[in-house]
Structures are given as structure tokens and as C-alpha cells.
Amino acid sequence: MPMPTVTFEGKGYVRQENETVLDCLLRNGIDVSYSCKSGVCQSCLLQAVSGELPKNAQIGLRDTHLARQYFLSCSCLPNNDLEVCRPDAAGLRAPGVVRRIDLLNASVARLRVHCPEPPAYRAGQFFSLIRPDGLVRSYSAASLPSDDDFIEFHVALVPGGRMSEWVHRDLKRGDALDLQGPAGNCFYVPGNPGQPILLAGTGTGLAPLYGILRDALAKGHSGPIHLCHGSVNSGGLYLDAELRRMMEANPQFHYSPCVLNGNGDDGIPQANIDAYALSCTGPLKGWKVYLCGHPDIVRTLQRKAFLAGANLQSIYADAFVSSADS
């Protein structure tokens, strides 16, 4: 029987006997990052596009990685042919058309894109939006693939931001807008419906958190779900009314907004989100934690959530790096 092949970027490579997927790719001159080669450090993660993965190639991976067929290439000795790609490289370019754009507040536009052949994604993952001239920026999906026949993004107007200014000023219904993706590991995975969940973020970090919230509720999550949205002032709490409505309808859901500048007159606490989120939840041992938004705040929240008892594997962080910052 011939040895099974590994297909990578369209080319097939025949594996030698007892050769791991990593060693096979390295032997063929493909630059795959790796370190320990013993299934520990997870630097050699790849994603299976097709073919069956042996169980021991996924030991120790977090649930979102399992759900997306990620595996440790250094520990992978498949019995059959396998097509693999780099993490997050699997997403194809999907042509889309703008279904609707409206303002959620003074600076956040809700952009809904319809794709005739919609890519399979999970609420909370992100896509690259591709402007016809080739400019590319990433935005997270706030929509729910099972309910919505469009993909929804929340686009904050960034002064001098080429994509966001274009979306706010020039883009209109019916325009073509291609998407590439999805990517990212910030999404809900069913299987533990009673586990408490913390969703915390700032600005349009709310987009993926809102998607994850809707997904969790739609999939029957019964444990407490706390969503903490932080903003500079109350005008930035752009889904306030909708989230309060959802709180009324779902007793397990708690919405806790906070603002940096405010006088408390409107009942919204004035607080830093990193302190406020943890004061809403208490210790986080056994919790699942999703953090999205400004990179500094995500990093601070990530550390605080970990020190408050959340397992590293149960913290899903998505820092929004603005092109102005990078």
C-alpha cells in the first residue's frame, strides 16, 4: 500500500514511514513553525481541510481549535490522505453585496453583507473586508449564521481610517464588497450549557460578543451569561436598548454596561471595565471568558481573568489592532 500523502497549498507530498506531518512538510522545504516537537508547545498548529485526524494529534487543544480541525503537526501520523493548511488560511474569498448600512450611534455603522454563497462561519469569528481597490481590514461577525442571511459587522469610524471612512461615507446598498475568512477562535462551543460565561469588551468589541451571546442563547445555554460593555461615555453603548430587551427575555443573561466618563445620573456606573467586569462576576474559576476590543484592555482583562481563576484554555481573547496602531 502506498504511503498516504499530505496536501499543502495544492501540492501533494508522500509521507515516509512513521513520518509526522510536520517532518514531511519540513523535509519538503515548507516553512512551518515548530518548537518542542513533542506535542506540548503548540507552535506547530495546522488546520485540516479534509481527511481524518488521528486523536492523539489533538491532545490538549482548546475546544474552539478542535471545532475547527486544528491539530499538532508534530504529533500527527495519519493513516490516510490529509489536506492541511496554516491556521486561518482556509477561508476563501466570497463575493458579497451590501444589503444595508445604518448608524447604530454617531460613530458606529452596522454593515450587513449578503453573500450568494455564504462562507461557513461562527458568530464572533472575523472576516477580512476587501475593498475593490484591494484595501483589506478585519471585522468581527455579529450575525448568527443560522438566523441571518447576511453577515453583520460593526464599523467604528476611525479618523483617518481608510476603510472605516469609506464604509461610513461612500459605501451604499447594492455595492460589491468581498469577504475573506472566517478566522479567529472567539466563538461559542456547545457542550457545557450550564457553564458561566463572561463576555467583556470595549467599543465595537461588542460585535463579536453580541454574536457569541446570540449563539449561546440560540443553542440553549442555561448557565449565567454576563456581558460587560465598556465605553468612554454612554453614547458609545450602542446596543444598550437591544441588550436590555434581551435581558428581559432571558433570565440567565445579565447586561452590565460601564462608562469612563459619566455622572451616574443615567444609572450607568462610571468604572474601568477591567475592574467593573470582575466586580460583576466575582472569582472566575470554571468560567468561560471572551474578551474583545482595544488591545491594551483585552490584555489587562486577560491577565485579570486568569488571576481571578479562569483557565488559560477557557479565555478567548480577540484584540482589535487598528491599522493606525500597528
Partner 1 sequence: MSTLFEQLGGTGAVDAAVDVFYRRVLSDERIASFFDSVDMERQAAKQKAFLTMAFGGPNSYTGLDMRKAHAHLVKRGLGDVHFDAVLEHLGGSLRELGVAENLISQVITTAESTRSDVLDR
Pairing of strands 126-130, 178-183: antiparallel
Pairing of strands 288-293, 315-319: parallel
CB distance 257 to 228 below 8 Å = yes
Calpha distance 62→31 (Å, rounded): 24
CB nearer partner 1, residue 5 or residue 314: 314
Stretch that binds partner 1, among 33-41, 150-158, 169-177, 225-233 (CB under 8 A): 33-41
- Judged by CB under 8 A, the number of residues near partner 1 is 20
Instruction: Give the one residue of 303, 321, 322, 324 binding partner 1; rule: CB under 8 A.
Output: 303
Instruction: Give the one residue of 89, 135, 275, 307 binding partner 1; rule: CB under 8 A.
Output: 307
Q: What backbone phi and psi angles, to 5 degrees, belong to 18? A: 60, 25
Does residue 41 interact with partner 1 by CB under 8 A?
yes
Does residue 195 interact with partner 1 by CB under 8 A?
no
Calpha distance 303→83 (Å, rounded): 36
What's the start-to-end Cα distance of the chain, in Å? Answer: 51
CB distance 125 to 187 below 8 Å = yes
109, with CB counted inside 10 A (0-12, 13-18, 19+), is buried
Does residue 47 interact with partner 1 by CB under 8 A?
no
Residue 268: helix, strand or coil by DSSP? coil
CB nearer partner 1, residue 187 or residue 210: 187
CB nearer partner 1, residue 59 or residue 135: 59
Spatial neighbors of 169 by CB under 8 A, at least 6 apart, are none
Q: Considering the complex, what minimum distance in angstroms separates the CB of residue 313 from partner 1? A: 8
Binding mask 48-67 for partner 1 (x = CB under 8 A): -----------xx-------
CB nearer partner 1, residue 59 or residue 176: 59
- Cis bond leading into 119, ω under 30°? no
Q: Considering the complex, what minimum distance in angstroms separates the CB of residue 146 from partner 1? A: 29
Does residue 103 interact with partner 1 by CB under 8 A?
no
Calpha distance 181→206 (Å, rounded): 20
Stretch that binds partner 1, among 86-94, 153-161, 242-250, 311-319 (CB under 8 A): 311-319
Instruction: Give the one residue of 7, 42, 105, 323 binding partner 1; rule: CB under 8 A.
Output: 42
The binding site for partner 1 (CB under 8 A) comprises 35-43, 59-60, 299, 302-303, 306-307, 311-312, 315, 317
